[in-house]
């Protein structure tokens, strides 16, 4: 409840986030992508926020109660950089995306829109990248930044800052854009998240 917070209207992220389902299906059909079962939402926890301090119960009712409930399994974890993660697991990619959206939306609707950093999907990539080297089943993350309302790929090669596989990211970025995903246009905004807890 700071001097400048609290009154912002929650944004509609669904129109952008839902495109990830189609893009994933197309790339999977081409043999380039295999989804994992995992995704996550990262946000800066605010102890003063009632919803966030009772997140586990709140998410239980959001994800498990009602007819259309996805019943996606989730776990709450803190990383070593002071951020909190909701890690979600679901074998149905469509349900996984919808649950990720629901979690972010629930946090946002309850005075937490400014705390949301990103939604992160884990997928495996197979293919040749620009420098003519081959990647087979490489773990990649597709990051959706709430402040930019856009996706970009992130392929860490280690846990320290800056360790990332840029050629694969570049290739994946082009392919995802080609298949209808809203990709962050400014490369300098493709910031990494090292040490993702899933």
The binding site for another protein (CB under 8 A) comprises: 42, 44, 81-83, 117-118, 130-133, 143, 145, 147, 161-162, 164-167, 169-170, 186-194
Smaller CB separation from another protein, 70 or 171: 171
Compute the least distance from the CB of residue 191 to another protein, in Å: 4
Give the phi and the psi of residue 80 in degrees, each rounded to 5: -85, 10
Compute the least distance from the CB of residue 101 to another protein, in Å: 19
Helix (H) or strand (E) run with residue 13 in it: none
CA–CA dist 89, 32 (Å, integer): 22
158 in Cβ contact with 164 (< 8 Å): no
Smaller CB separation from another protein, 91 or 131: 131
Region of 45 on the Ramachandran plot (φ > 0 left; ψ -120 to 50 alpha; else beta): beta
The tokens for 178 are 């080609």
Smaller CB separation from another protein, 63 or 129: 129
SS3 147: coil
Helix (H) or strand (E) run with residue 22 in it: helix 19-29
Compute the least distance from the CB of residue 63 to another protein, in Å: 25
Smaller CB separation from another protein, 3 or 65: 3
Compute the least distance from the CB of residue 184 to another protein, in Å: 11
């Amino acid at each position: 409840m700071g001097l400048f917070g609290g009154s912002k209207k929650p944004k509609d992220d669904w129109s952008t986030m839902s495109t990830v389902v189609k893009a994933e299906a197309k790339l999977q059909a081409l043999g380039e992508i295999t989804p994992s079962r995992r995704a996550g939402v990262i946000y800066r926890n605010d102890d003063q926020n009632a919803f966030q301090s009772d997140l586990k119960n709140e998410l239980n009712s959001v994800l498990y109660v009602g007819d259309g409930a996805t019943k996606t399994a989730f776990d709450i974890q803190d990383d070593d950089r002071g951020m909190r993660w909701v890690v979600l697991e679901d074998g149905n990619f469509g349900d996984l995306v919808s649950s990720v959206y629901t979690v972010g939306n629930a946090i946002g609707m309850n005075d937490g829109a400014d705390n949301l950093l990103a939604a992160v999907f884990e997928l495996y990539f197979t293919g040749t990248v620009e420098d003519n080297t081959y990647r087979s089943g490489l773990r990649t993350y597709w990051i959706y930044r709430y402040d930019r309302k856009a996706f970009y790929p992130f392929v860490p090669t280690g846990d320290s800052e800056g360790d990332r596989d840029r050629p694969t990211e570049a290739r994946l970025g082009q392919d995802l854009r080609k298949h209808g995903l809203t990709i962050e246009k400014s490369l300098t905004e493709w910031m990494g998240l090292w040490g993702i807890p899933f």
